[in-house]
């Protein structure tokens, strides 16, 4: 996909800010996320979704509606871009013939059948990227990377590539989504953060999704990652009732992805090991 220039500026935020990615049509996880935000006293204006609200799970339309009605900030993932523009595949960037590509044929056609025209039009109105300032940091929210909506950026992606993306965005901090795994890295001139996703486990052998909080801390920002508990069995029941393939149903219960084609060797080696993410001061 080509470079994007559709960047919405939210101005100066005061925090805390909750970041979450990948609702993936998982209505139960999305409800749990919004309930958690409410419990923490956060309003919708303090919530940012990094995209892919629609994907593997059963509740396409209800998940879009819930997030839209909640009024959260939200950028297009490749799934929003594809469904919004009636493109005939998910745009994830999977290699042709790979397990991910074969599975995506099934869930994407289901999502394409079960989204309303009104929601499809709404997805087209979402910005590609967001920028805001928090405690003096220039922060840009992207789906994959600054130059490509479906670029996979992992913890193991070289720092030089991450810095290149920061330079493109003219930002101090980039917040990405798309890859499905939570992580954070800071170096002298910048930081890359990923909140993980709420709609699918982190391939760590647990059922939890993940979200991230940004909280001003004196002159710095404290970044913390948190597990999201939700009713995974209800999400699986809905997928079974919808006739979706079993691979991602099993993943919601086992905490393990049905395939790891997209993962670099470093992330593949972490499969099944419960994640522990320490807070980061940036
Ligand atoms: Fe994505």
Q: Which DSSP string corresponds to 12-73? A: EE-S-EEEE---TT-HHHHHHHHHHHHHTT--GGGEEE-S--SSSSS-HHHHHHHHHHHT-E
Distance 26 CA to ligand 1 centre (A): 15
Cα separation, 212 vs 176, whole angstroms:
12
Cα separation, 195 vs 181, whole angstroms:
7
With a cut of 90, say whether residue 148 has pLDDT above it.
yes
pLDDT score for 94:
66
Distance 95 CA to ligand 1 centre (A): 14
pLDDT score for 99:
63
- Residue 1 covered by a domain: no
Distance 92 CA to ligand 1 centre (A): 5
- Residue 167 covered by a domain: yes
Distance 227 CA to ligand 1 centre (A): 20
Number of domains observed in the structure of the chain:
1
- Residue 256 covered by a domain: yes
Structure tokens at 21: 């990615």
Range of the domain at 204: 7-281
pLDDT score for 3:
45
Of residues 110 and 106, the one with the higher pLDDT is 110
Distance 219 CA to ligand 1 centre (A): 33
Distance 111 CA to ligand 1 centre (A): 14
The predicted model gives 268-272 an average pLDDT of: 95
- Residue 190 covered by a domain: yes
Q: How confident is the model at residue 88 (pLDDT cuts 50, 70, 90)?
A: confident
Q: Scanning the structure block, which residue is given the tokens 């049509």?
A: 25
Distance 129 CA to ligand 1 centre (A): 13
- Residue 2 covered by a domain: no
Q: How confident is the model at residue 131 (pLDDT cuts 50, 70, 90)?
A: very high
- Residue 202 covered by a domain: yes
- Residue 187 covered by a domain: yes
**CATH (domain of 22):** 3.60.21.10
- Residue 151 covered by a domain: yes
Question: In 3D, which of 273, 251, 264, 280 has the Cα closest to residue 191?
Answer: 280
């Amino acid at each position: 996909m080509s470079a994007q220039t559709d960047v919405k500026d939210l101005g100066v935020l005061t925090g805390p800010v909750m970041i979450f990615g990948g609702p993936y049509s998982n209505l139960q996880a999305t409800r749990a996320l919004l309930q958690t935000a409410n419990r923490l006293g956060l309003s919708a204006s303090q919530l940012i979704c990094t995209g892919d609200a629609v994907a593997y799970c059963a509740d396409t339309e209800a998940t879009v509606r819930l997030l839209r009605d909640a009024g959260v900030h939200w950028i297009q993932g490749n799934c929003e871009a594809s469904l919004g523009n009636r493109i005939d595949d998910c745009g994830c960037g999977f290699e042709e013939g790979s397990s991910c590509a074969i599975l995506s044929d099934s869930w994407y056609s289901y999502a394409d059948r079960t989204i309303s025209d009104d929601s499809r039009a709404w997805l087209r109105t979402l910005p590609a990227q967001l920028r805001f300032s928090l405690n003096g940091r220039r922060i840009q929210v992207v789906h994959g990377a600054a130059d490509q909506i479906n670029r996979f950026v992992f913890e193991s992606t070289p720092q030089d590539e991450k810095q290149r993306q920061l330079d493109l965005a003219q930002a101090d901090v980039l917040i990405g989504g798309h890859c499905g795994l939570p992580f954070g890295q800071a170096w002298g001139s910048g930081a890359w953060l990923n909140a993980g996703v709420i709609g699918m486990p982190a391939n760590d052998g647990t059922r939890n999704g993940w979200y991230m909080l940004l909280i001003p801390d004196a002159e710095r920002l404290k970044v913390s990652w948190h597990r999201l508990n939700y009713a995974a069995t209800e999400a699986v029941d809905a997928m079974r009732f919808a006739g979706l393939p079993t691979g991602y149903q099993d993943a919601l219960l086992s905490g393990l992805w049905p395939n790891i084609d997209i993962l670099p060797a470093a992330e593949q080696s972490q499969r099944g090991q419960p994640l522990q993410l320490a807070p980061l001061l940036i």
